[in-house]
Structure formats: structure tokens, C-alpha cells
Structure 1
Amino acid sequence: MELESKEHPLPAQALPAGFVWGAVKAGIKASGNLDLAVAFAPKGAVGAAMFTKNQVVAAPVIVGRRHLQATGGRVSAVLVNAGNANCATGDVGIAACTATCVAAAEQLGCIFDEVFPSSTGIIGVPFPSGKVIAALPEATAALGTTSAHAEFFARAIMTTDTKMKVARAVIDVGGTEVRLFGTAKGAGMIHPQLGPPHATMLVYLFTDVIADAAQLQALLAPAAEKSFNSISIDGDTSTNDTVLLLASGASGIALDAQVGEAFVSALQLVCDSLAHQIVDDGEGVSHVVKLHITGARTAAEAKTVAKAIAHSPLCKTAWSSADPNWGRLMAAAGYSGVEFDPALVTIAIGGLPVFAAGMRSPYFDEAATHEVMLQREYTIHLDLGLGTEESTFLTCDLTAEYVRINADYSS
């Protein structure tokens, strides 16, 4: 099995069969960049999705859920716009979203509820469905199977992202390839809390394996839990977060017991890569921090501690200046809601001990730890001393650049 990300893309033949991709400029983004992306499965595909758990959800999340339920998971097209979230736009926004799905279906020659919509951008602004509909003929003409076509799709869904995020994997099954391609967007408003079919993170995963919707849903949930549900940039959960996994079946290889283990590994690798790329491209990020919480009674408690640290403004600002302030780590763990004895806790930053036995470690070297924290990426390891369960959570620092970007986002 091979995995490649944006730094070293695989050749065009590594893309999954049964899909075409493309993007155009519909005039939604103020920048004038690509802002309408389309993926199409001419012979249809089967899909599974996970959506935000935010109680306030965008129109495309509502419509996307309805469409998956109505078709039993059958999806022929994905329609994504950037520059407008179509959220908090009322029934008018839902009607506008539906109208774009109907128009896309007419243009592509499929059933309207086999069109899966997504939107990302500013909340509360009327959705320009007319611009989307007007651009659909050009978008359809722009569809193709090459890496360039897939990358246009990946670029069009970006908002404050500074680079596209893609990952690909190939599994060899008796000389026949099963392929996975994933693309994501997200740089701010990133703390996904994804559940089953219930700035923004959007993830689209394409494969040519033969599978049904139930199989895909069963595989997507654990893959997302270990990746997208284990990252945070700023602690804000978007109204539009969506992860969609589509299978065209064009490889002719069924997702059975023989293929299953390798496919699960490939899916996890692609999801992990995309999750890391999202955090690494976070708004104003200068340090990517992996929180490894061990010694917990349950994995859920370990993740709770990790989230408390990841969302602490004091911890995040300390990371921005490479300040080895372990007291902030302990304080955040202490208010996380997980009960533990501080005397049992140990903390290491970049492998260097900083806290043990309820106080500063006798081996704490502030200068050396500061040097480690100057690196782009490092790990903070906190052991609770309670059990054998653990959690790995990816987060980042909080910088003045993040404030600058988001202070002006609506203007």
C-alpha cells in the first residue's frame, strides 16, 4: 500500500476510477478565485457522511442529510461552493440550496437528490444560488479525470486556507488497484465534532472499491474519530462541517474480508494526512503540537484532558513563543473535569521531563525545552498515572496573525 500527500502527488492513474472532477469561478469569492467545485460519478456512487454536531447547521447540511436518506446513500454528484456558508439564511437558504441541486442534476443527467451539496464561507449572507446555477454549464464542461482536474476541485473549496490539502492511497489486490483520493479544506473554526448522519472543515473521500452505504458508514466513523475528531485549531465547531466518503465500485474489487483490513488502513492514512494538513495550515499557526495523553482510565477521559489543553488560550499563547510553562498544562488538565491525583502525573515536552511527583521535575531544563519548542512540530506527553488508556490529539498555537485574520473576516 502506498500513501502520498500534497508534497509528493501520485501520477494521474492513482486517482480512483469512476469519478470526474472540476472547478470554475462563479463569482462568489470576493477574490475572484475558483469557488465552485464539482465531482461527478457518471455511473453513480454510494456514499456515507458525517456532519457537524453544532445545533446551528447550514442549509447544505440539512439538504445533504435529506438526500442521503432519500436515496439510501446513492450519490452521483458533489456540488461545493466557497465564499458563502448558506447558514442562518432560513427557508430561503434551504430552497436556494435545493435549486442548485436541481440545476446540477439537470446539467449532469442525474436525479436531483443524488446531488450532495456543501458550502463554506461567511455565515448569514443570502446565498447567491443564481451565480451557482449560471456557472454549472461551464463547470460541467470543465470536468475531467486527471490530477489537474482533481486539484482544481481541491483549490476551489478553500477559504482562508493557504494551500490545497490532498492525500491518496493505493492498495494492490491481486494485481488490481483499489484507489483512494481525499481532499479537505479548513484553516479556522476548526474543532470538528462529527457524528453520524446527524471558516469550516469539509472533507471529501473518493474510492473505487465496491461497497454499500452501511459498510462505508461503519468504516468512516472510526477513521474520523481518530483523525478529524482529534484535531483543533481554535476550539470553534463550524455549522457546516462535513465528511463524505464515496465509492464508485469501478475497480471491480469488493470490500470483503480479504480487502477490508488493507482498506481500513488506507482510509485511516488518508484521513490522518488530511487532518494533519488542516492543522498545519491553520490560521496564523507557527507550531503544530501533538498532545499524547496516556495513563488514563478510559480513552474518553484522555481525550477530555487533551481537549482542555488544546483549547486553553494560555497554553496556546505559550506555545506561540516557545514558553515551557508546564503550569498552564497542569491547570488545564485540572479543570478538564477528569479526576486525577497530580502527584501521579508526569509531563514531558519534546521528550524532555518538565513535571513529576506533583512539582517541577528535578531534570527540568528550561533552556533546552525552549529550544525544542522552537521547532515547527513537537509532542507534549502527559501521563495521568491512572490506567492504560490513551489519546492522541493534534492542535496548534494561537498567534496575533490568527486574531488579525478573524478580526477582518466579514469585511
Structure 2
Amino acid sequence: MNDSSLLSPDALPSGFRFAAVKAGIKPSGKPDFAVAVADQPASAAAMFTSNRVVAAPIIIGRRHLERSAGHVRVVAVNAGNANCATGHAGLEACQQICAAAAEIFHCEPHEVFPSSTGIIGVPLPAEKPIAVLPQIAASLSATPEHFLQFARAIMTTDTKPKVAHASLNVDGKTVRIAGVCKGAGMIHPQLVPHATMLVYLFTDAAIQPSDLNTLLQQSVEVSFNRISIDGDTSTNDTVLLLASGASGAQIDHANASFAAALAEVCTSLARQIVDDGEGVTHVVELQIEGAANDCDALIIAKAIAHSPLVKTAWAGSDPNWGRLMAAAGYSGAEIDPERISIWFGEQQICESGGRVTGFDEAAAHSYLKQREFTVRMHLGVGNGQCRFWTTDLTAEYVHINADYST
């Protein structure tokens, strides 16, 4: 489920409390500092951007997870400033915030996990979030409204909060998973174990950090690593999964039911990010089939998803399928052009590398006018496949990002 208006009290995992306030970082004056607190040290697993330019909170977050042996008490997220390309001062600001949060919430600084999102290259005024920490502490709660406050406070160019949740039964105990994320632009996560998209996942299952890492990597691979809005990989991308253990249900990495539920939540959040993309008027599910292998299928999906010519054709609902062929051809994946077939929804457009007999351009144009549609390509060279979600590229996207820093 992903409709925040339907979030009920029993949807949230036990063992966590949430709050968000205005720290004065966003020029808009909207809430911009969010905190999640685990009642007890929670098992943690995280994945970060593969961009070699990384923000200060990623450097500090990695250190803290290593020092705490994969345990977190506090998640502290500021929006409006990425704290990236800020040098030693950025690291110092991040450490100051973690130390102040640790004092307020009675834990060690390395049990605080920091995150930032916003403009790159601007010093983070650490004194602002530090000043509102007492207000955060006084307003913490485990209610759905506080969870949604957290979701809203981490937004930048997002137009709406993004949440998802699932539950399952494990040995007679109810286990809950809930996630929140932000992201609308600079979205092409390439997350690695050790993306601007921020994702926070919470569960009340009891899971060891090593098992949590395995489960997170599996879920991310089929969700957040399968989306792209503009092809840019952020310096701040982060996915964090915390397990409080408050349900008493013991789970390891081999639990298929939990893995499926976690993947469901992650996929919902990933698709919400795409749907809320900057200037987006079309959301596209690419179904690549018949590739030499799954890796080649993904390579072709990304080539199509990142092609300005393809994306602008989608913006105009133009059934220019030749651009799909061209993108597959230069992707570097193994192809045989004479074996390629393409469908827009149920309508076949291309067969054996050429336009189908009786191609109905008007019908194809009409189909592509829908906000959401499917493009399926069968390569005919193997069994490789993947699903990938992407968007069109509009003038509104250009306007948003041309004026972003001013």
C-alpha cells in the first residue's frame, strides 16, 4: 500500500518514534529537519550512492555503522542543503549534529545516522538543526501523522510525501515494515553495499545486521536500482533499513516471506519516486525480454531510459519506435536487429526488426497519451529480462533545474 492518507496506527512497526520541525535551512521556511529514534539500538543495513563524489553525511554514516557494528539509535535528516563538496567544514558540521543528537537522545555519537539533501556546495549551518533538537525530542511520537511529518520534512522538489508499508505473520507474530522516501530529480540510483534519493525503511522484526544487509541488497536490486528520471546519480543517495526487534519475531536472510514484503515496499517507494519526477507527464514501465542475459537486459533498459530523443518523444506521445531500436543498438548489449520485436501496451509496433504490417500510428499515439504506459521489447537472443521504470523529459524539467539554485 502506498497511499499516505490510508496509513493507520497499526501499519507502523513498533519500537520507533518520529518528529520533524522547521530548522530554517530551507528558504521556503517549511519543515526541513526530521528525526527517527529507535527505543533500543536497532540493527541496521545501508546502501549508498556509487558516485565517487559523496556528501559528508555518507562519509560519517559509513564510519558510524562500522564503529557501531551495524546498530543505530537515531536517524537525523536535514533537507535544503546536501552538505556535499563542503570540505572539512562539512564533515565537522555533520559530526557536530551527531554529537548534539547523541546528547539529547542519550546514546553514542556513532549510533546517530546522518543524512542530507538539497543544494550541493553550500556550507551546512549546523547550529540550525542543533538548536531545534530539544523541540524534536519533545515532539517525538509513534503516530502515523508524525511518520508523515518525517516524510514531508525530507522533501525538496518533491510534490508529495512518499510512504509504503506491508505486514506479514511470522510464527504467530505480526511483523510490520514501513518505508518513507524522497526524490524527484537527480534520480538514477546506482546503489552499492558499503543515491538525490533518500530512503528509510523500518521493521519491528528481530534481524541481525548481516542478514539485514543481504535482505536489503536483494530488495534494492529489483526496485531502486531499476529506476531513472534523468540519468544523474546523486552524491547523497542512501537507503537505510532498521530492525527494532520489538515484535519478537526472529528472521534471517532466508525468510522468503519477509524478503517479498520488503521488496514490495521498496518497489512501491521506487515507483512513487518516478511518478513524482520533476516535470513528469508520463511514467513508463520498460519490459525488456529475450536478452542474452539479465545484465544485457538492464543495459538496454538504461540506454532507452536515458535517451533524450526517446524521452522527448514520450513527452509528445510520439510513437517513434525507431529511437528505441537505436538506443538498443548503441547500448553495448548483444543484439540481432532482425530479431527485435516491440509493443506499446498490447499493440505490436515492430516485428523482426521492422514495422509491423498495418501499423496504426493513431492508435499508438493515443496509447502513449496515457500518463502511465508500458513499452515491451523482445530481443530474441536469450532468456535475459528486467523491468525498469522511467519517465519522459519535459520543458518543465528544464525550468525546474535551470532555476534550482536561484
Q: Distance in 1 between matches of 2:349 and 2:2?
A: 35
User: Aligned-pair distance for 1:355?
Assistant: 1.0
What's the secondary structure of 2:377's corresponding residue? strand
Q: Distance in 2 between matches of 1:14 and 1:323?
A: 42
Q: Distance in 2 between matches of 1:69 and 1:173?
A: 30
Aligned partner of 1:75 in structure 2 is: 72
**In the alignment, is the contact (CA less than 8 A) between 1:320 and 1:399 conserved in 2?**
yes
Aligned partner of 1:207 in structure 2 is: 203
Aligned partner of 1:234 in structure 2 is: 230
Within the alignment, does 1:20 sit opposite 2:17 as a pair?
A: yes
Aligned partner of 1:398 in structure 2 is: 393
User: Aligned-pair distance for 1:262?
Assistant: 1.2
User: Aligned-pair distance for 1:172?
Assistant: 2.1
Q: Distance in 1 between matches of 2:79 and 2:20?
A: 11
Within the alignment, does 1:141 sit opposite 2:138 as a pair?
A: yes
> Counterparts in 2 of 1:292-331, with a 5 A limit?
292-331=287-326
Aligned partner of 1:59 in structure 2 is: 56
Pick from 166, 170, 174: which aligns with 2:167?
Answer: 170
Within the alignment, does 1:40 sit opposite 2:37 as a pair?
A: yes
TM-score scaled by length of structure 1: 0.97
Pick from 340, 346, 355: which aligns with 1:351?
Answer: 346
**In the alignment, is the contact (CA less than 8 A) between 1:350 and 1:373 conserved in 2?**
no
Within the alignment, does 1:250 sit opposite 2:250 as a pair?
A: no
Q: Distance in 2 between matches of 1:359 and 1:347?
A: 9
**In the alignment, is the contact (CA less than 8 A) between 1:16 and 1:207 conserved in 2?**
yes
User: Aligned-pair distance for 1:7?
Assistant: 5.0
User: Aligned-pair distance for 1:90?
Assistant: 0.3
Q: Distance in 2 between matches of 1:171 and 1:395?
A: 30
- Amino acid across the alignment from 1:342: P
**In the alignment, is the contact (CA less than 8 A) between 2:177 and 2:202 conserved in 1?**
yes
What's the secondary structure of 1:319's corresponding residue? helix
Q: Distance in 2 between matches of 1:403 and 1:121?
A: 17
Aligned partner of 2:218 in structure 1 is: 222
Q: Distance in 2 between matches of 1:120 and 1:56?
A: 14
Aligned partner of 1:99 in structure 2 is: 96
Q: Distance in 1 between matches of 2:264 and 2:163?
A: 12
Q: Distance in 1 between matches of 2:252 and 2:338?
A: 49
Pick from 166, 187, 191: which aligns with 1:190?
Answer: 187
- Amino acid across the alignment from 2:243: A
User: Aligned-pair distance for 1:275?
Assistant: 0.3
Which segments of structure 1 move beyond 3 Å, counting only runs of 4 or more?
A: none
What's the secondary structure of 2:258's corresponding residue? helix
> Counterparts in 2 of 1:255-274, with a 5 A limit?
255-256=251-252, 260-274=255-269
Aligned partner of 1:181 in structure 2 is: 178
Aligned partner of 1:386 in structure 2 is: 381
- Amino acid across the alignment from 1:245: L
Q: Distance in 1 between matches of 2:316 and 2:353?
A: 25
**In the alignment, is the contact (CA less than 8 A) between 1:349 and 1:381 conserved in 2?**
yes
Write out per-residue CA displacement over residues 300-325 of structure 1, whole angstroms, 9 at most, x where no aligned residue.
Answer: 10000000000000000000110000
**In the alignment, is the contact (CA less than 8 A) between 2:171 and 2:249 conserved in 1?**
no
**In the alignment, is the contact (CA less than 8 A) between 1:15 and 1:147 conserved in 2?**
yes
Seq. identity, %:
60
TM-score scaled by length of structure 2: 0.98
User: Aligned-pair distance for 1:170?
Assistant: 1.0
Q: Distance in 1 between matches of 2:139 and 2:159?
A: 23
User: Aligned-pair distance for 1:142?
Assistant: 1.4
What's the secondary structure of 2:404's corresponding residue? coil
User: Aligned-pair distance for 1:50?
Assistant: 0.2
What's the secondary structure of 1:323's corresponding residue? coil
Count of equivalent residues = 406
User: Aligned-pair distance for 1:25?
Assistant: 0.3
Write out per-residue CA displacement over residues 156-204 of structure 1, whole angstroms, 9 at most, x where no aligned residue.
Answer: 000000000000111123442100010000000000000001x910000
- Amino acid across the alignment from 2:126: S
Q: Distance in 2 between matches of 1:342 and 1:361?
A: 14
- Amino acid across the alignment from 2:354: M
Aligned partner of 2:369 in structure 1 is: 374
User: Aligned-pair distance for 1:145?
Assistant: 0.5
Which ranges in structure 1 are unaligned for 5 or more consecutive residues? none
Q: Distance in 2 between matches of 1:223 and 1:174?
A: 23
- Amino acid across the alignment from 1:80: V
Write out per-residue CA displacement over residues 95-125 of structure 1, whole angstroms, 9 at most, x where no aligned residue.
Answer: 1101100000001111100000000000000
- Amino acid across the alignment from 1:182: G
Q: Distance in 2 between matches of 1:261 and 1:358?
A: 40
What's the secondary structure of 1:5's corresponding residue? coil
- Amino acid across the alignment from 1:365: D
Q: Distance in 2 between matches of 1:332 and 1:290?
A: 16
Q: Distance in 1 between matches of 2:17 and 2:326?
A: 50
- Amino acid across the alignment from 1:190: I
- Amino acid across the alignment from 2:383: T
Backbone CA RMSD of aligned residues: 1.1
Pick from 333, 339, 342: which aligns with 1:338?
Answer: 333
User: Aligned-pair distance for 1:256?
Assistant: 4.2
Pick from 262, 273, 279: which aligns with 1:278?
Answer: 273
**In the alignment, is the contact (CA less than 8 A) between 2:208 and 2:252 conserved in 1?**
no
